[in-house]
Structures are given as structure tokens and as C-alpha cells.
Chain A
């Protein structure tokens, strides 16, 4: 790689526009310009220097801010398309997506589904855009930060007057610098937290150079964040399970390989009530109707001590008990268990009484657990009920007269009972439902009269483990540090030098020129040193 030697003797990397040391223009183009381009201090950026191999071309493509902006704009436009209609994961699950979109949104919905916008954020092309943004962040940052660092490190105090003349804030005047005045402004500059350096009678006051690294720091944060998001697909990093658990049930916690069990002791749904809750809410409750106050699952978490032993029965020891509420997940190991959803009043058990139809006399009550039925229920003194058939989701009789169950879910349970009594030792058949008994196999003396229904709530818990969170947190923190570092300070410099009986003054800031002008004014006011003028005014 070639080097460029400046007249001042400093050896610059190939491609340098302004000498890192004295600031002289090194290219023909830069010599012609009215103002020097100070964006990257005129340093040698790889992307501006080499363009031969494929690597150069890829590098140059992604290092371009223009390309980066295009990627950002494409991403934001694409992202907006995904909000026109609800995404696939938000539509009701009782209908397939391909039908739902057409059904609800007509032709537009059909097209939306066909071009894949119903799952836009998981599409290959959207992911590719995000990946392109990541690559752009890395390359564009590297292309700039290294030469910028070099240039700021190598800058010397006495810049060449051609460099100073091409600054936006500049003044020159005949005269000589007085040592007393220099001392005076040095004090003023120090008060304003400038670092002042003197060399060969020239002065450089500089402050907040660190703010120049802000953009690169925030880009590093973004890269860490994107890498963290990428890591989610690594096995073991991320678990997302949903567990429907009924009151009283103890179930394995999915995603923990059987190491943990959870018991739902009780699910509670509370609404805001007028009279009970603060009076100020009455108006809102009146208008809206019902406002939910609390969804809560009282859960107990167990560890299975025998999990490591193959074939052994689980031996559960309690780990913790917690009321899981929205915003208050239960945490264990690296897992969090959230209150996500619920179904109220699912049927649990039904009570029937063996009843003499004529007298109405009852000979005992049986309780059929819809999830755990017995073959027969002995009522004593020769009375007994046998369960001959269970139809959890009864849907009428088939052509052959068989009762039909639509599904295994206890939505409309029906039973075929055989009633054995001292009078009817061979048994009579009764077909019983909620509030209904039938005698499909001939008239009977007894019936199974429906007495009562036990219900319970079902709670849906989300079990989640996300080991990428700490990485994302680091990314977010680094990003915030970088963006604050770059936004809330300005890198300001003031050059003053005397050469051949003339005083040159120049100022530069990476942003907020008004602030710099005010600051320079208050420093140079009342001295013989001319105040630099803004030559880029409207």
C-alpha cells in the first residue's frame, strides 16, 4: 500500500485528502474547494481509496451511507405494510389464515395473504433486509472510525493556513499575537473546559472529542443487539411454551424436560366494582361496563427429585408458591411463568341421583369426574350404578342409534348408566345429560336425575426462557450510551496562529454552530484577536 507524504513531512496513508498532521489539501479536488470537507477530517477511508476486487466492491457498497439510508427506508416502509392488516399470530386461531383474510377483508385480504404480508416480519426478504442493515452497520463504521481516530490523534496544533482558510468559521487580520492575550484566553478557554495546546506559538483549543465516537459506539450497540436476536435460534437459548392448566391440576412444566411441575391451586378473575373500588372509577365503569382488575393463578412450583432416574415415579418437592399475575411472572432457574389467558367455568364433574321415578325417592348421589370416571359407583344396600358409556361432547345419535361424541372435550357431556337396584337386579339403562334423562332402551323404573355441575377455571400460563436477554440488554445499554455521547455534546475546536505578520483564527464543530459562535465570541471578545465569521450563512 502506498503512502502519501505531505510537504510538512508527515506520512499519510494512501487516499488521505487532508494531511492528518497539518491539514494541507493533498488531492487536486480538495485543493480546489472553497471549504474543506471536515466530515471525517479528510482521512483515508478504504471505501474511497480502493475499488478493484470484489471485496472492495462489496465493502464500498455497504460502507456507503446512502446505501445504509436506503436500507433503513426500505425497512421502515416494509414494516409499515405489516400493520395494514393484523399479522397471522394475532388472528383468531379457530380459522385457517388463508380463509380468514379473504373472509374478513375480502379481495384485499386475499391478496394480502397471497403476497405473504400476513407473516411479513418472519419472511426471508424482511430478515435479509435486517441482515443487510447489520452488515452495513459493521462495514460503514469500520470504514470511518479507524481513519477518523488516526486523523484526530495525529492532528497538530499549528495547522497550515490553507487548512484554516477553508474552515467555515474563519478570520484573518494583520497583527501579532500578544502573549498576555493568549494567556487571558487560555484561562477563559480552560473555564469552558477546553483542552488548550500550544506549539510554535500556535494555539489549539479542543473539547469533547469523545462525542465523535458516539455514532460508532451506538452502532456497536446495535450490532450486539442484532447478534443477540440472531442467537435466539440457537437450540437451548430460547423456550416459549403455553400451558393450559385446570384448577387443582399438577402438570409438568413444558420446556424443562420434566424437571419441574406446577400446580394450579386456584384461578381468580376480579373486576372493578362500584362501591368497592375508588369512587372516581365509577363513571368509567358505568360507561364501559366491565373492567378487569386482576387475573391470577395461585401456583405452586415443584421439582421432580427423580427426574434423573429413568422410569422412576416423580417425587415432587415444593420449590416456591406464588400468585402469578399479569406483570408479575413467577421466576425460577432461567424461566419465567406468565399469566397469559384463561377459560372460566369449564365443567369438571357432574352429580346425579339415583331416583325412583314414581316416588321421587333418592337412593344416593354419584359424582362423575369428567376427567376421571369410575366403571361403577356403589351406593350400598344393593344400589349400584355402572357407567356404560361416556360421550364428552354429545352430538346426537348415529343412524344405528349409537350416541356420538363430537370431540374428546367435555363441552356437552352425556352418560349411559346402568342402574342396579334390589328391584331391578339386571339393571336398567338411563341416558343422562345436564337437566335431561332419556330412556333409549325402554321404559325404566329408576332414572339418573341430574343434580349439580361442578366447574373450575382453566388458566393459560406462558413458560418462557430467553437467554439472549442479557445480550440484548448490553446491546441496548451500549446503544444508549453511544447515542447520548454523540448527541448531547459537540466536538469543538478553535485554532489561532500567527504567520508572517498575520493572525489566523478558525473554528470547527461537528454540529451546533450557534453554540460554538457564542462560545468563541465570549472568549475572544475584548481581545485584539479577530472573531471568526460564519461564511456559510443564508
Chain B
């Protein structure tokens, strides 16, 4: 059994590397050299999509071998779900690629998937047994459909962000360039989080704290990053580790806040370094890569992805969710934070579609909306699981 789990991990690692390789292949393809008559994708691009498909197959292999090893579909904790979400982004990209044949989409979709899978691996990776509430076939049905919907909607974000990188004038500093840089900074911070967490994990940093929790009871917490902020009335138990600069009140989870602070600090350093070295905004750096793609086509891809993804998301994240909630939690709807944020996502994309159809919000406005929509999806994935504890906090 555990051999299977080992094979599974290797396959995921292979997929991760293949996605990285494909990113560079797509990078090589965007100059559109060597295009024969009637071709829209050159040799680099064809190679890129082939490597992507092989990577996707490897990740499918990871998924099913892990399923076999665990006896349940690997979508039951934050690592597994987030990895699956990354896979769905790649799957959606492949689907959209065959409709529109745009290589530049791959140049952005694959790194995003790579970052998401790397982010996922920062959480406990072991195969966990299912608690009673999760022991149902609806686990597979609900979670996979919801993630597929989110993956397709993520393509809308990717097309949107390319649209913005291409069309926002970088010669002057405006509100638009600042907001776009904010999005870039967020992505850089996630990369910083991955680097910092992996770095301290390699160094095997562990600092144990004793503190007083929300219920006024003594509790212990292990920090895997040096504590900038420590828990409520915390005392450091491990010798020769960094003392926190400040203690947090009991209702704040100091460990999580500490991770956020580290990521932001790392993000700022990384971002400032990029700006200092290149003397350009990050979006301006990326602009030359997207020069050749038609804005009109990007707009269409972004909208089309919402059209394809919205029904899938609704089915998975609301309808299947309600059916399962009725069976497992006795009620189809209980205003659990995750449920509410799924509803918010649904309402947001509903507003998006109405703005587009009836108010004529095309192009840039639509692209911004696609970015915000993905922001809501990521908030639901990250913040609602880690910060707003509810029934869905399995990780």
C-alpha cells in the first residue's frame, strides 16, 4: 500500500516539473517564429502543449494511485484539495487551448498552477483517514466538481490578467498600474511564502510555545517559522529560538498570523528587489510577452471560461454541496463560512454575467472583474480554511 503512496508522490513531483518545463516551452513559442501557412501554433507551442498534457497525465496518475492507496479520493484535506485545484486549472487550460489555440495562456496558466501546487505542499502531505462527516461518495462528487468549476473560472482570471498586462499603459503611473502591481505583489508574496516555508522546513526549525488559549486553558503550539508574533501569554519552551516581538490576544491564531507576516515581509523584499534590479513594474516586465495576442480574443476567452465554469461551479459548490449537507449535516444550508463564500462566488459571477450581457462591460472592466472573481475563489480556499474556522476546516 505504501509503495503506491510513494509512486503517487513521485508522479506529482514529475507533473510539477513537467509544468515548469512546459512554461518555458510556451515562453519560447510566443515569438511565433517558424509558423507555416495557416498555423497558429509553432513547434515550441506544440511541444509545450504536449508536455503539459504529459504532466497532466502524470498528475492524474498521482491522483488515482493516491486514491487507491488511501481508499478515498485525495480531496479530503487542504494539500489534496489545493493540488487537485491546480490540476483542474491545467485541465481547463488544455480544454481552452484546444478551442482557441493561444500559447500565451499557457505561459501564464502553468506558472499559476505550479505556484498553487507548491503552495499546497506547504501543508501536511500525509494521507489522512476520513472523519465520519467525510465518509460519503458525495465527497468525490462535490469536491471534484467544485474544484473543476473553480479551475475553469481561474482561466478567466488568467485571460483577464493577460488582457490587463497587455492593455494597461505602463508609460505613466496610474491607479490602474498600481492595482495591477497589487495583484503582482500578491503572487510574489505567495512565492515568498513557499520559499520561506520550504527554507525553514529544510533547516528543521521548530519552536514550541506554551500559551493560554481562547477558552482560558493552557495549550501548546509549535511554530515552524521564527515567531515574529507569539501566542497569548506565550512562553518559549524550545531553547535557543527566537523570542516573539509581541504577544497576540487569545482570539487571534498567532501561528497563522506569523506565517502571514513572514509571507508579506518576504513578498515585499522580493518585490522591491525585482523593481530595483529591473527598474520596471512587474506588469511592465511581462508586457512584451503578451504583445502579440489579440485583446479581443483574450476578452472572449475570459468570458467563455466564465460561461463554461459558472454552471460547473454552481453544480459542484452549491447544488451537490446542498445535497450532501442535507445528508451529512442534516440541513442543506447552514450559513457555514465556506457555504457563504461559495454563495458569494456564485453571486459575484452572476453579477459579472449581468454586467457583461446587459451593461456592456467588456474588455478592461470585464478583465478586472475576472481578477476579483479569482480573488474571491482564493479567499475562500485560503482564508476561509485557515482564518475563519468553520465546518470545512479539515486542514
A104 to B331, CA, bound (A): 28
B363 to chain A, nearest CB (A): 7
Q: Given that A83-B340, A514-B297, A514-B300 are known contacts, is A284 also in contact with B251, CB under 8 Å in the complex?
A: no
B226 to chain A, nearest CB (A): 22
Query: Are B295 and A538 in contact, CB atoms less than 8 angstroms apart?
Result: yes
Interface string of A51-85 (1 = CB under 8 A from B): 00000000000000110110011011001101110
A87 to B359, CA, bound (A): 36
A121 to chain B, nearest CB (A): 5
Query: Are A487 and B311 in contact, CB atoms less than 8 angstroms apart?
Result: yes
Residue of chain A at shortest CB distance from B380: A83
Q: Given that A79-B344, A82-B340, A279-B2 are known contacts, is A287 also in contact with B126, CB under 8 Å in the complex?
A: yes
A293 to B134, CA, bound (A): 10
Which of the candidate stretches A170-178, A309-317, A322-330, A445-453 sits at the interface with the other chain?
A322-330
Interface string of B333-360 (1 = CB under 8 A from A): 0111100110110011011001101110
8 A Cβ contacts from A466-523 to B? 466, 469, 472, 476, 479-480, 483-484, 487-488, 511-514
A106 to B251, CA, bound (A): 9
A228 to B350, CA, bound (A): 21
8 A Cβ contacts from A252-310 to B? 272, 277-281, 283-285, 287-288, 291-295
Query: Are B126 and A325 in contact, CB atoms less than 8 angstroms apart?
Result: no
Decide yes or no whether B199 CB sits under 8 A from chain A. no
Query: Are A292 and B249 in contact, CB atoms less than 8 angstroms apart?
Result: no
B249 touches which of A82, A106, A279, A480 (Cβ 8 Å): A106
Residue of chain A at shortest CB distance from B300: A514
Decide yes or no whether A340 CB sits under 8 A from chain B. yes
Decide yes or no whether B183 CB sits under 8 A from chain A. no
Query: Are A72 and B354 in contact, CB atoms less than 8 angstroms apart?
Result: yes
Query: Are B128 and A284 in contact, CB atoms less than 8 angstroms apart?
Result: yes
Contacts of B340 in A (CB 8 A): 79-80, 82-83
B11 to chain A, nearest CB (A): 16
Residue of chain A at shortest CB distance from B127: A280
Query: Are A284 and B127 in contact, CB atoms less than 8 angstroms apart?
Result: yes
Q: Given that A65-B359, A69-B354, A462-B330 are known contacts, is A280 also in contact with B347, CB under 8 Å in the complex?
A: no
Decide yes or no whether A537 CB sits under 8 A from chain B. yes
Q: Given that A76-B347, A483-B311 are known contacts, is A281 also in contact with B128, CB under 8 Å in the complex?
A: yes
B388 touches which of A66, A83, A329, A466 (Cβ 8 Å): A83
Taking chain B's interface residues, is the majority helix, strand, or loop, or is none over half, making it mixed?
Answer: helix
A81 to chain B, nearest CB (A): 10
Decide yes or no whether A371 CB sits under 8 A from chain B. no
A278 touches which of B71, B132, B133, B344 (Cβ 8 Å): B71
Query: Are B249 and A326 in contact, CB atoms less than 8 angstroms apart?
Result: no
A326 touches which of B70, B135, B354 (Cβ 8 Å): B135
B136 touches which of A83, A327, A472 (Cβ 8 Å): A327
A82 to B340, CA, bound (A): 8
Query: Are B351 and A279 in contact, CB atoms less than 8 angstroms apart?
Result: no
Decide yes or no whether B53 CB sits under 8 A from chain A. no
A310 to B341, CA, bound (A): 51
Residue of chain A at shortest CB distance from B135: A327
Query: Are A292 and B348 in contact, CB atoms less than 8 angstroms apart?
Result: no
Decide yes or no whether B34 CB sits under 8 A from chain A. no
Contacts of A90 in B (CB 8 A): 336, 390
Query: Are B71 and A480 in contact, CB atoms less than 8 angstroms apart?
Result: no
Contacts of A79 in B (CB 8 A): 340, 343-344, 347
Contacts of A511 in B (CB 8 A): 303, 307
Contacts of B129 in A (CB 8 A): 272, 277-278, 281, 284-285, 291, 293
Contacts of B308 in A (CB 8 A): 487-488
A155 to B388, CA, bound (A): 54
Residue of chain A at shortest CB distance from B318: A476
Decide yes or no whether A394 CB sits under 8 A from chain B. no
Query: Are B355 and A69 in contact, CB atoms less than 8 angstroms apart?
Result: yes
Residue of chain B at shortest CB distance from A476: B319
Query: Are B350 and A87 in contact, CB atoms less than 8 angstroms apart?
Result: no
Query: Are A284 and B69 in contact, CB atoms less than 8 angstroms apart?
Result: no
8 A Cβ contacts from B314-334 to A? 314-315, 319, 322, 326-328, 330-332, 334
8 A Cβ contacts from A235-256 to B? 240
Residue of chain A at shortest CB distance from B5: A280
Query: Are A73 and B351 in contact, CB atoms less than 8 angstroms apart?
Result: yes
Query: Are A487 and B2 in contact, CB atoms less than 8 angstroms apart?
Result: no
Decide yes or no whether B296 CB sits under 8 A from chain A. yes
8 A Cβ contacts from B112-150 to A? 124, 126-129, 131-133, 135-136
Contacts of B277 in A (CB 8 A): none
Query: Are A105 and B307 in contact, CB atoms less than 8 angstroms apart?
Result: no
Contacts of B132 in A (CB 8 A): 292-295, 325-327, 339
A135 to B295, CA, bound (A): 38
Interface string of B90-120 (1 = CB under 8 A from A): 0000000000100000000000000000000
A538 to B163, CA, bound (A): 12
Decide yes or no whether A352 CB sits under 8 A from chain B. no
A272 to B130, CA, bound (A): 9
Contacts of A351 in B (CB 8 A): none
Query: Are B344 and A76 in contact, CB atoms less than 8 angstroms apart?
Result: yes
18 contacts between A and B (CB under 8 A): A72-B347, A79-B347, A80-B344, A82-B340, A90-B390, A104-B251, A106-B249, A281-B128, A326-B132, A326-B135, A327-B135, A469-B332, A472-B322, A476-B319, A480-B311, A483-B314, A487-B310, A512-B304
> Which 10 pairs, one residue from A and one from B, show the smallest C-beta to C-beta distance?
A326-B132, A65-B358, A283-B126, A284-B128, A76-B347, A83-B337, A281-B129, A338-B330, A487-B307, A327-B136
- A sample of 20 more A-B contacts (CB under 8 A), given A75-B347, A514-B296, is A69-B351, A69-B354, A79-B343, A79-B347, A83-B340, A83-B341, A83-B388, A87-B335, A104-B251, A240-B331, A278-B71, A284-B129, A325-B135, A326-B328, A327-B135, A327-B327, A472-B322, A487-B310, A538-B294, A538-B296
